[in-house]
Amino acid sequence: MKTEFVPQHDLPRDYSGNCGWGDEPDRNEASMTSVITTHELTKQFKTHTAVDALNLDVPQGHVYGFLGPNGSGKSTTMKMILGLTQPTSGDIEVLGEPLTRASRTKLLPSIGSMIEAPPGYGHLTGRENMRIVQDMLDLSTAQIDHALATVRLTGQENKLVRNYSLGMKQRLGIAMALARNPALLILDEPTNGLDPAGIEEVRMLLVDLASQGITVMVSSHLLDEIDKMASVLGILSSGKMIFQGSRDQLFEQSVPDLIIETSDPQAALAQGLTATRVPEGIRMSGIDKDQTAKVVYQLAVAGVPIYEVRRVAHSLEDVFMDLTGRGGLL
């Protein structure tokens, strides 16, 4: 069978955001129910479109990593999901219910959130802040104690919040979101400003919460953080969803370059391949496994000596940069 060689980067990419979840991760079928779905969600401000026809699909019981450069529309999307900002157009469904003014009141007790910065009245202690949340939502003291213990603030709860470190404030914010025993947790950049230990702590906490069945939607502009905790990724760029799916599916979106080690790169290039010369031989971009086999066969038939064929090590960050057009993700 003859295979026509077409470099992968010349193929149209499907960034429609409709990727399935594939085999990621080990969840049963019931857990694939969507907790948040949006349909053509759009938010337009006077001068620009912050969110553009977004089709979001957050599966139940997963940590959904919502990635994008600063200003890509993550916070606006989260605010719309929480009903804090009205969409210009499009629909939102949360926990199986269309989000409306009426349904929002019913849904809010099931949604914990922390948007943009951790809340907390500086002149009050952590415990007093939690008591405000307790009163707001009619929660039990046991729920408050449990939330404080979960974020490991027990023992620190009687300090004034203004004297908290940034990490403690973040944890208090998460405790406030957790106190209501939410089915869905929406956290906007919860690791912002934290040191590596703090980031690791929040990461472990979120993974642990997801293992308890809580769906966590967490945004970040830091790829590294999300990569280590999210089982599903959504990548936003300039308000548009450019990828949605598992980590493996994300890798499939971008094929690493192929290095063909040869002592005679000139002869290899003479075969009409779209490749560049590198010290060890030639480098080809965007060719998949079948195309690799075809190239190797073609070179072997032409008598070009091949010592090694390998893929360039490709980090998630490289994939990410490819997708976002190096739009400022770290």
Partner 1 sequence: MRRAIRLEFRKMRRLRTFLITAILVLAVAGLSSFSLFAGSTQESFNDPDALPWAGLMVTYTLMAAMTSPILAAVLASRQTDIEHSGIGWTLASTAGYSPGVLCRAKLVALSAVLLPAVIVQTLLVIGIGLFAGIRVPLDPGPWVLYTGLLFLIDVAFLALHIWLAAIVENQLVSVGVGMLGAFLGVFTLLTSTAIARLIPWGYYAMISPIGQQGDRLVYLTPPFGWIAGFLILVGIVFAVATRRLDRIER
By the criterion CB under 8 A, which residues form the site for partner 1? 79, 82-86, 104-105, 108, 111, 113, 115-124, 128, 131-133, 135-137, 160-161, 176
Nearest distance in Å: CB 141, partner 1 = 15
Compute the Cα dihedral for 43, 239, 20, 329 and give only its sign: negative
Nearest distance in Å: CB 149, partner 1 = 21
Of 127 and 247, CB closest to partner 1:
127
DSSP characters over 212-272: TT-EEEEEES-HHHHHHH-SEEEEEETTEEEEEE-HHHHHHTSPPPEEEE-S-HHHHHTTT
Q: Rounded to whole angstroms, how far apart are CA atoms 197 and 175?
A: 18
| Structure tokens belonging to residue 23 | 């085999």
For residue 329, which of 251, 203, 235 has the smallest C-alpha distance? 235
Nearest distance in Å: CB 86, partner 1 = 7
CA 244 to chain centre: 8
Of 133 and 223, CB closest to partner 1:
133
The helix-helix angle for 166-178 and 196-211 (nearest 10°) equals 10
Of 186 and 258, CB closest to partner 1:
186
Nearest distance in Å: CB 173, partner 1 = 8
Of 6 and 136, CB closest to partner 1:
136
Nearest distance in Å: CB 121, partner 1 = 4
Of 214 and 268, CB closest to partner 1:
214
